[in-house]
Amino acid sequence: MKILSRFVLIFVLLPALTGASARAGEDVLEATLDNGLRVLLLEDHRSPVVSFQVWYRVGSRNERPGATGLAHLLEHMMFKGTPTYGPRMFSTLVEQNGGQDNAFTSQDHTSYFVNVSADKLDLVVALESDRMRNLLLEPRDFESERQVVMEERRTRTEDDPEGFLGEELSAIAFVAHPYRSPIVGWMEDLRRLTVEELRAFYRTYYVPNNALVAVAGDFKAPELLEKIRRAFGPIPRAADPPPVTVAEPRQNGERRVTVKKEAQLPLVFIGYPVPNSRSPDAPALELLSTILSEGRSSRLYRRLVYEQQIALNAGGDYSYFSTDPNLFWFFATALPGQPPEALERALRQEVERLKTEPVSAIELERAKNQIEASFIFRQDSVYSRASLLARFELIGGWRLRDRFVPAIRAVTAADLQRVARAHFLDAGRNVGVLLPIPPSPPRS
Q: What are phi and psi of 56, to 5 degrees?
A: -105, 135
Answer yes or no: 75 catalytic: yes
Cα 333 to chain centroid, rounded: 24
Catalytic residue among 30, 75, 167, 294: 75
Q: What residues have CB less than 8 Å from 337, skipping those under 6 apart?
A: none
List the catalytic residues: 75
